[in-house]
């Protein structure tokens, strides 16, 4: 099994590990309400990191406070010019959801660390990729970045309104985040999570003291490979056995592939469900 995983790994991770400048167009597709912030020190890790902030379209003209969604791989979320093989379209999706449903949220996208991504987003040591830095990365989010965001923006800082989401290794670290900080994150979007690299995550999730009170949106594609779908089924079974039925959703899309196009299509349904937003204009296939 592990030989097959190793053979498939370059295809699964190419989008995240290749340099964005290789094929990216020069013209930015990010909407005006996306802001690229200067790099800040990661005191839990010996490096710096840029992050991107999406603000609701009415942010400057209101005094409202907003839920916050933390996402990984910030280069791939908003802009074709910084994503290797296309973006999630998070900004366009949220602008449309605000118009259609009144759904509004701040999104903080943390840039990935290029070749450090495989260790930063892995909570466990791995013989092939090295010592996992996932604890330190999540500690940075909670101890350093979240307090900064809560100081500088009008947020709803409580657990109910603090969400986390990511794909592939970002899905794995999002799962780890709700386990490590169950008192901070009340909802997680787990897109094509790379459970194959860290099977320890299943026992840790089962032991999560807040599992029954955490909203989890789990999604994977049937064309992502056997190891990915096996992990999806194992986590789905765990949630069926240990979580409250109304606190989780699991979707295996038979046609889904391991890429931004698939995750872009799933994002609107996921964020609507995570924030319990009701829309008159339903997206196709929305739960």
Q: What is the pLDDT of residues 130-161, one digit of tens each?
A: 999 999 999 999 999 999 999 999 999 999 99
Cβ neighbours for 271, distance < 8 A, ≥ 6 positions apart: 69, 93, 94, 97, 103, 105, 165, 189, 277
What is the pLDDT, as a whole number, of residue 186? Answer: 98
Q: Using 50 as the pLDDT threshold, list the residues of the chain that sit under it.
A: 1-25, 283-287
Three-state secondary-structure class, residue 29: coil
pLDDT of residue 85: 80
Distance CA 148, CA 38 (A): 13
3-state secondary structure 224-244: CCHHHHHHHHHHHHHHHHHCC
* Separation CA 84–CA 82 (nearest Å): 7
Measured N-to-C along each axis, helices 226-242 and 2-17 cross at an angle, to the nearest 10 degrees, of: 90
Tell me the sheet residues that pair with 245: none
Contact 125, 131 (CB under 8 A): yes
The per-residue pLDDT for 280 is 65
Segments forming the whole domain that contains residue 74? 33-274
Q: Would you say residue 256 lies in a domain? A: yes
Domain count, the chain: 1
CATH number at residue 130: 3.40.50.1820
Q: Which residues pair with 109 in a beta bridge?
A: 52, 71
* Residue 164 placed within a domain: yes
How high is the pLDDT of residue 114? 93
Cβ neighbors of 180 (< 8 A, separation 6 or more) are 123, 135, 138
The confidence score (pLDDT) of residue 284 equals 42
Helix axis angle for 90-101 and 260-274, nearest 10°, is 30
| Res 26: pLDDT | 57
How far is it, in rounded angstroms, from Cα 71 to Cα 267?
12
Determine, yes or no, domain membership for 28: no
Report if residue 280 sits inside a domain: no
Q: How far apart are CA 235 and CA 92, in angstroms?
A: 30
d(CA 241, CA 221): 22
What local confidence, expressed as pLDDT, does residue 223 receive?
Answer: 97
CA distances 154 to 22, 65, 150, Å, are 37, 5, 7
Q: Cα 188 from chain centroid?
A: 8
How much is the pLDDT for 22? 46
């Amino acid at each position: 099994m592990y030989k097959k995983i190793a053979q498939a790994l370059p295809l699964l991770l190419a989008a995240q590990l290749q340099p964005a400048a290789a094929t990216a167009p020069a013209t930015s597709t990010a909407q005006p309400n996306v802001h690229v912030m200067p790099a800040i020190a990661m005191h839990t890790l010996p490096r710096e990191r840029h992050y991107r902030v999406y603000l609701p379209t009415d942010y400057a003209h209101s005094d409202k406070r907003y839920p916050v969604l933390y996402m990984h791989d910030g280069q791939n979320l908003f802009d074709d010019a910084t994503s290797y093989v296309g973006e999630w379209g998070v900004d366009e999706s949220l602008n449309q959801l605000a118009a259609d449903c009144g759904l509004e949220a701040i999104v903080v996208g943390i840039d990935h660390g290029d070749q450090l991504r495989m260790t930063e987003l892995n909570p466990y040591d791995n013989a092939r990729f090295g010592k996992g830095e996932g604890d330190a990365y999540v500690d940075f989010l909670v101890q350093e970045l979240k307090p900064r965001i809560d100081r500088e923006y009008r947020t709803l800082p409580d657990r109910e309104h603090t969400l986390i989401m990511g794909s592939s290794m970002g899905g794995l670290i999002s799962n780890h985040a709700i386990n490590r900080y169950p008192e901070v994150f009340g909802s997680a979007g787990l897109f094509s999570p790379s459970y194959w690299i860290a099977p320890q995550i299943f026992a840790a999730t089962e032991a999560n003291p807040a599992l029954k009170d955490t909203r989890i949106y789990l999604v994977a594609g049937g064309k992502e490979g056997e190891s990915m779908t096996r992990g999806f089924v194992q986590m789905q079974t765990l949630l069926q056995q240990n979580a409250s039925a109304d606190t989780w959703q699991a979707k295996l899309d038979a046609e889904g592939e391991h890429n931004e196009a698939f995750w872009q299509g799933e994002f609107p349904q996921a964020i609507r469900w995570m924030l319990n937003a009701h829309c008159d204009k339903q997206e196709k296939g929305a739960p």
